[in-house]
Amino acid sequence: MKNRCYCKILDNIEIAPSIHKIEMERVDGLGNIKPGQFLHIKCSDALLLRRPISISYAEKDKVGIVVRKAGEGTVSLCNRKKGEILDVLGPLGNGFTVNDGKRVIVIGGGIGTAPLLELVKNLEEKDVTVLVGYKDMPYLVDDFKKYVKVVDVATEDGSVGYKGYVTDLLKAKLENDGADIIYSCGPEVMLKKVQKIAKEYKVKVQLSIEERMACGVGACLVCTCKVKSEDGVKQVRTCKDGPVFWGDEVMLGE
Amino acid sequence: MKNRCYCKILDNIEIAPSIHKIEMERVDGLGNIKPGQFLHIKCSDALLLRRPISISYAEKDKVGIVVRKAGEGTVSLCNRKKGEILDVLGPLGNGFTVNDGKRVIVIGGGIGTAPLLELVKNLEEKDVTVLVGYKDMPYLVDDFKKYVKVVDVATEDGSVGYKGYVTDLLKAKLENDGADIIYSCGPEVMLKKVQKIAKEYKVKVQLSIEERMACGVGACLVCTCKVKSEDGVKQVRTCKDGPVFWGDEVMLGE
Amino acid sequence: MSVDLNGLVLNNPVTVASGTFGFGREYGEYIDLNKIGAIAVKGLTLEERQGNPTPRVVETPMGMLNSVGLQNPGVDYFIKEELPYLSSYDTKIIANINGNTIYEYCKLAEKLSNTAVDALELNISCPNVKEGGVAFGRDPDMVYKVTKKVKENTDKYLIVKLSPNVADIKEIGASAESGGANCLSLINTLIGMGIDIEKQKPILARGIGGLSGPAVKPVAVRMVYEVSKAVNIPIIGMGGIMNYQDAVEFFLAGAWTVAVGTANFVNPMVSIEILEGIEEYLKRKGYSSIKALVGQLKF
Amino acid sequence: MSVDLNGLVLNNPVTVASGTFGFGREYGEYIDLNKIGAIAVKGLTLEERQGNPTPRVVETPMGMLNSVGLQNPGVDYFIKEELPYLSSYDTKIIANINGNTIYEYCKLAEKLSNTAVDALELNISCPNVKEGGVAFGRDPDMVYKVTKKVKENTDKYLIVKLSPNVADIKEIGASAESGGANCLSLINTLIGMGIDIEKQKPILARGIGGLSGPAVKPVAVRMVYEVSKAVNIPIIGMGGIMNYQDAVEFFLAGAWTVAVGTANFVNPMVSIEILEGIEEYLKRKGYSSIKALVGQLKF
Ligand SMILES: Cc1cc2nc3c(=O)[nH]c(=O)nc-3n(C[C@H](O)[C@H](O)[C@H](O)COP(=O)(O)OP(=O)(O)OC[C@H]3O[C@@H](n4cnc5c(N)ncnc54)[C@H](O)[C@@H]3O)c2cc1C
Ligand SMILES: Cc1cc2nc3c(=O)[nH]c(=O)nc-3n(C[C@H](O)[C@H](O)[C@H](O)COP(=O)(O)OP(=O)(O)OC[C@H]3O[C@@H](n4cnc5c(N)ncnc54)[C@H](O)[C@@H]3O)c2cc1C
Ligand SMILES: Cc1cc2nc3c(=O)[nH]c(=O)nc-3n(C[C@H](O)[C@H](O)[C@H](O)COP(=O)(O)O)c2cc1C
Ligand SMILES: Cc1cc2nc3c(=O)[nH]c(=O)nc-3n(C[C@H](O)[C@H](O)[C@H](O)COP(=O)(O)O)c2cc1C
Ligand code: FES
Ligand code: FES
């Protein structure tokens, strides 16, 4: 039977303004972890619901998450201290499908870069390009560099790397080299562009999307999104059937 | 203008099972403190209302409280750590009247002994007897001994001092030596006995009582109790007009 | 710790609330469903429903608003694809049914009558559908009528689920009783709204939603107490139950059984923990059965 | 940031709710009362009232139940002993009045007509009195009648305070408007109950009480939104406002002014902090007046 887990916080550091990397014990209850899966975390006693946070990396005895202070829940989470115990449910969700194709592009925007770290760790045999975009201050770039040679950075203000959107880099890469598959996570506007570009270049793409959640396990139906399939449009649950969907199926923001 | 104060916790130690002594910074905003006054403390973000906790002792640059884990609020308070900041309102309430009579008996039961410490500190010129009663494990006894010679302890199980109720000691003391005034704080059953005994021996008595509170400052009227006066029974606010009342006036549990 | 709701016998008095437990599969991975008194399944309609657009949830102070809007695969699919799974467990199955008209309610009852479901729960109180729903739940005559008609169309044990968005819930409960309800369940959600002040629009795509969770518990306990004084049929109490202490409040107020809703989202194991807590409480207080506790409020 | 409620002009749109601010004296030690838009005083009755026995308060998840039961020194005492103090401040004074009969409401209005109070607030919704109170607030005809009668007996600006314990608050609001109300205030408290499971009795001596605080905010915002669509008079919005963000939700939903209640108990300075927050929000969003924000919900 699955269970909720109590994981001790091993470390909590601010890696960029308002961005924390939190490392916790990997207790046995967590079981296997696939890249793209998330934890559903009770951030504070003062908040009723859990918050979905992607697993950024998993090692033998620890699990790392990267959290952006977005509101009350994530602020509380970022304020939790080393030694405190986190109440987590998971790993939840489907995760990325990693066995498709050789030439891979991994493209992330902002906090959406977090889950891609565990993904690239699982793409060792492949020919991987990582494209990451940020508003201003990049983070996790060095972590990506541990696993892949090509990590191209874009910032909107041009402070680091290419000045502009990371999707421009995607377009250029596809134009020059092509790819077999694209994996992406980031804000909805970015995912929509990635989806469109992938279609244009006829490359398969997996998108990890976000939706407000309550249960996180597929029971409450508050997190649905729409996917197109042969028998028409179907509603699926982001938490259980996702958060990763094929780009030619998922209907973003509809 | 009065204000709420943010006081850093300087120390928090468990002085008996489920009883914590918490010392905090005495910030300027707290102003003057009279014995018997209380602080209205925000114990946790997860709870809406503050909790009234007596000032147990006040020194030049620190204030001490003694808290019994009674429920969610006091448990949270006892779990607060050194270095954390407490949001407090106060000092609130009237406090004890300390200028009456020479031969003084101070009698407390359980956590009701806490505010009596600051009281005895302010009775230096007097002839003071302290009587304190507990279920089993006494606490604060050594603190009282710093200020008064006679500190008689009663425990219900007889593990320390007299076996039985502290009100038995009061009766004996009055029988043998009499007194000019009694000050008391403790559970309602005890206060009722003290009130009765004081009446029997015709000794003035001040009782510090407890009532559930919301505002703590006299505005909401949830904490009323009844006092008899010449013009009949009047309703007064425990938080503002009390928590200390004269024994011949206050109507306990009515 | 079995409890007999005048004809519907549950293994124990902890059930799960409709819409918070899907069709059981998801939480079946976390707990042994045999240990739950009954499972009220997600609200069913005659046809498949897509429900409302997202966002469908807002967190509020110690509560949540949902506007799922009765998304469900339709009653036929339920009977064919979900019921067999549920029936494999030793727990009672409550089919929560939702119509826009009395005819639809009757049709739903008919379809479920020869199936393995143990009881029907007439949801006349869902705030998330545009027609029918709420209007039914607010008008005592309509409540009487729909209850009576459905009762005529089924042999199943009939529970009527009451809306808290009324002036006098006693009156509504009494109407359902007169109409032939075997049992009442309450409360459904209070209607609420949450606004995003930066975007200056409601957070829920549909604007309003149903408030559940600890925030509503005081209202729910009061309503269960009121209704229990006004009717002679069993009550399933719910609204903000997070732990055994909350559950005991409902029993004391007059509920024969409790249902756990929103709490499942926070802790998938909570219903079992609540059951264990109740067992200990009964032992500690010297009660030989849950029934002995029901309505024992000294007041 | 003054706001004109069609005749009643407040220095700013942050007021304090009746029963949570006494007669101003206590919080006058913490804040400059001149900085508050208006003060609604503790509910007044013709005669002095002792209110309910204690305990009168229960904390609930992000809320509280109170059963003060309109303890007050009576309207004559108020006029003589409290009003002069309040009048010394540059803020509007709202007298919250409570009767058991229409006659009593009229009598109260009469007594207050030639005094320094700026407005009357007809509380037809207090859940803590046995007669009158709630019954008035639930019946549209009664609401119309009492409003009309009181209006005939006074020249004062008349606010009618609505109860949330109704099925359709739009209807009640509209009745008050037809009766001649200049303004509506909402919500009063939801009726709730809390039980001590060890003693097996209600925590409040009176059993039930009024729920206020953040827990009720989603319900309050929804009701303000609904009523604002149904009437053409100003609305004073309240229910769980703890910070400026909450206040802005109410403005967007259609409140012309907000009232802060339970939050005062947590933070005596909160009304001023909320006012400052609103000022910054207006600046940040480019509004030149609070009025420009009212009802601007995009939905
Ligand atoms: C599958 C998944 C994985 C995620 N992984 C990460 C991650 O690795 N790191 C990270 O920092 N964030 C991640 N997020 C986003 C994160 O869940 C939200 O930022 C967080 O829920 C906001 O909560 P809050 O209380 O801080 O903010 P508030 O804005 O106060 O939240 C209010 C409510 O809105 C919901 N909400 C707000 N923003 C989002 C959002 N973007 N997605 C879903 N719900 C939202 C919250 O859950 C909450 O119920 C992920 C979201 C999903 C769905
Ligand atoms: C003037 C005054 C001085 C006090 N001084 C101290 C002190 O120095 N040390 C100490 O440990 N305790 C003191 N108490 C009691 C303390 O306030 C309660 O134990 C505390 O409020 C319980 O809150 P809780 O959340 O832990 O318990 P819960 O039982 O969960 O509280 C639930 C509610 O009941 C109220 N409540 C419960 N018990 C009491 C009580 N005895 N008095 C008032 N309200 C109560 C709480 O405020 C809260 O609103 C004092 C009380 C008063 C009125
Ligand atoms: C996400 C969600 C969906 C719900 N769907 C239904 C439903 O389909 N039918 C129904 O009768 N009640 C539904 N409810 C109401 C619950 O069954 C229950 O009455 C309510 O949530 C109060 O209990 P709680 O506070 O424990 O959640 C739903 C509640 C939630 C939170
Ligand atoms: C302790 C207390 C006493 C109250 N007394 C009154 C009253 O006398 N008259 C009245 O109209 N409302 C009274 N109310 C209701 C408030 O004015 C307000 O409508 C309600 O509390 C909701 O706002 P809040 O959640 O900000 O407190 C009282 C509320 C509380 C908490
Ligand atoms: S969050 Fe409950 S189904 Fe996805
Ligand atoms: S607690 Fe509000 S008047 Fe005493």
The H or E element that residue B19 is part of is: strand B19-25
Does the C-beta of D185 come closer than 6 Å to ligand 4?
A: no
* Ligand 3 binding pocket includes C214 (Cβ within 6 Å): no
> D193 and C218: CB-CB below 8 Å?
yes
- The tokens for C59 are 């967190």
Interface of B with D in 136-155 (CB under 8 A): none
Q: Does D218 sit within 8 Å of C58, measured CB to CB?
A: yes
Enter the tokens of residue B59.
Answer: 């020194």
Quick check: D153 and D113 in contact, CB under 8 A?
Answer: yes
Cis peptide before C61 (omega within 30 of 0): no
Asked if residue A44 lies in contact with residue A125, where contact means CB atoms within 8 angstroms, the answer is no
Determine the Cα angle at A46 with ends A57 and B11, to 5°: 95
pLDDT at D128 over 80: no
Residue that the structure tokens 């020919």 belong to: A127
Tokens of C117: 């479901």
Number of H helices, E strands in chain A: 5, 17
Q: What is the identity of the amino acid at D70?
A: L
Q: What percent of chain D has pLDDT over 90?
A: 92
Check pLDDT > 50 for residue D88: yes
ipTM (interface pTM): 0.96
Contact C262, C188 (CB under 8 A): no
Find tokens 């009795």 and name the residue. D201
Phi, psi for residue D272 in degrees, rounded to 5: -70, -40
- Per-residue burial over C48-82, b if 16 or more Cβ lie within 10 Å, else e, is ebebbebbbbbbbbbbbbbbbbbbbbebeebbeeb
**Residue at B120: amino acid letter:** V
Q: Are the C-beta atoms of A209 and A250 separated by less than 8 Å?
A: yes
Asked if the peptide bond before residue C241 counts as cis, ω within 30 degrees of 0, the response is no
**Structure-block tokens of residue D165:** 């314990």
B118 membership: H or E segment, kind and range: helix B114-121
- Statement: residue B187 has pLDDT above 50: yes
Q: What Å distances lie between residue B34 and B63, B120, D193, CA to CA?
A: 12, 12, 37
The list of chain A residues with pLDDT below 50 reads none
With an 8 Å Cβ cutoff, is B47 touching chain D? yes
**pLDDT beyond 50 at D130:** no
Write out D120-161 in H/E/C secondary structure.
EEEECCCCCCCCCHHHHHHCHHHHHHHHHHHHHCCCCEEEEE
Helix or strand run (H / E) with residue D253 = helix D244-253
**Helices C140-152 & C169-179, crossing angle to 10 degrees?**
30
Predicted local distance difference test score (pLDDT) of residue A125:
83
A245: left (phi over 0), alpha (psi -120 to 50) or beta: beta
Pick the closest to residue C14 from C284, C247, C289, C185 (CA basis): C247
* Nearest atom of ligand 1 to the alpha carbon of C203: 34
> Max CA-CA distance within chain A?
51
Gap between the Cα atoms of B146 and B103, Å rounded: 18
**Does the distance separating the beta carbons of D268 and B217 come in below 8 Å?**
yes
Ligand 2 contact via B77 beta carbon (within 6 Å):
no
What is the predicted pLDDT for the residue at A100? 73
Q: How far is the CA of D211 from the centre of ligand 1 (A)?
A: 30
Q: Please, what is the end-to-end C-alpha distance for chain A in angstroms?
A: 35
Per-residue model confidence (pLDDT) at position D136: 74
Please check whether residue A49 touches B, CB under 8 A.
no
| Residues D183, D232 contacting (CB under 8 angstroms) | no
Q: What is the pLDDT of residues A138-167, one digit of tens each?
A: 999 999 999 999 999 999 999 999 999 999
- pLDDT at B254 > cutoff 80: no
Mean pLDDT of B7-19: 97
Tell me whether residues B212 and D56 touch, CB distance under 8 A. Answer: yes
Statement: the pTM of the whole predicted model exceeds 0.90: yes
Q: Is B48 on the interface with A (CB under 8 A)?
A: no
Averages of pLDDT over runs of 10 residues in chain C (299 residues) are 96 98 97 97 96 96 96 97 96 96 93 97 71 68 93 96 95 97 98 98 96 98 98 98 98 98 98 98 97 96
At D286, list the tokens: 């480019």
CA of B218 to the centre of ligand 6 (A): 4
Domains and CATH numbers, chain A: 4-92 (2.40.30.10), 96-208 (3.40.50.80), 212-254 (2.10.240.10)
Residue C126 a catalytic site member = yes
- DSSP class of residue D81? I
Which pLDDT score is estimated for D11? Answer: 97
Domains and CATH numbers, chain D: 3-50+70-190+212-293 (3.20.20.70)
Is the separation of the CB atoms in C161 and C224 below 8 Å?
no
Between residues 206 and 265 of chain D, which touch chain C (CB distance below 8 Å)? 207-208, 211, 213-219, 221-222, 225, 240, 245, 248-249, 252-253
Query: What is the structure's pLDDT at C127?
Result: 56
The neighbour count for residue A167, using CB atoms within 10 Å, is 23
Record the tokens describing residue A26, joined without a space: 């990997």
Question: DSSP labels for C143-167?
Answer: HHHHHHHHHHT--SEEEEEPPS-SS
pLDDT of residue D186: 98
Q: End-to-end alpha-carbon separation of chain C, Å?
A: 26
- pLDDT of amino acid C130: 47
Cβ of residue B239 lying under 6 Å from some atom of ligand 6: yes
Q: Which residues of D touch C61 (CB under 8 A)?
A: 61-63, 213-215, 217, 240
Which residue matches tokens 């092509």? A178
* Token couple for C207: 């604007």
Sheet with A244-246, edge to edge strand ranges: A162-163, A150-155, A127-134, A103-109, A181-185, A204-208, A244-246
In D, which residues are within 8 Å of B235 by CB distance?
Answer: 50-51, 71
> CA-to-CA distance for D188 and A16, rounded, in angstroms?
46
- D125-152 burial, b at 16+ Cβ within 10 Å, e below that, comes to bbbbbeebbbebbbbbebbbebbbbbbe
End-to-end CA distance of chain B: 35
CA distance B89 to B98: 23
Q: pLDDT digits over D180-231, tens only? A: 999 999 999 999 999 999 999 999 999 999 999 999 999 999 999 999 999 9
Q: Which residues of D83-117 are buried (b: 16+ CB within 10 A; e: fewer)?
A: beebeebebbbbbbbbbbebebbbbbbebbeebeb
The candidate with the shortest Cα–Cα distance to C282, out of C3, C8, C10, C16, is C3
Nearest CA-CA partner of A84 in A126, A138, A129, A22: A22
Closest CA to D221 of A5, B134, C80, C63: C63
* SS3 of residue D39 by DSSP: strand
User: What percentage of chain B reaches a pLDDT higher than 90?
Assistant: 94
Helices (H) and strands (E) in chain D, counts: 11, 16
Question: C14 pairs with which residues across the strands?
Answer: C258
Question: What residue has token string 């197109």?
Answer: A228
Choose among D205, D149, D206: nearest CA to D180: D149
Task: Report the relative pairing of strands C119-123 and C92-97 from DSSP bridges.
Answer: parallel
Task: Give the DSSP letter string of B11-45.
Answer: EEEEEETTEEEEEEE--GGG----TT-EEEEE--T
Structure-token pair, residue D199: 């003693």
* Partner residues linked to D201 by β-bridges: D196
| pLDDT, tens digit, 9 for 90 and up, residues D227-266 | 999 999 999 999 999 999 999 999 999 999 999 999 999 9
Partnered with residue C40 across adjacent β-strands are C94
Report phi then psi at B214, rounded to 5.
Answer: -115, -75
Task: Tell me the DSSP string of A174-213.
Answer: HHHT--SEEEEES-HHHHHHHHHHHHHTT-EEEEE-----
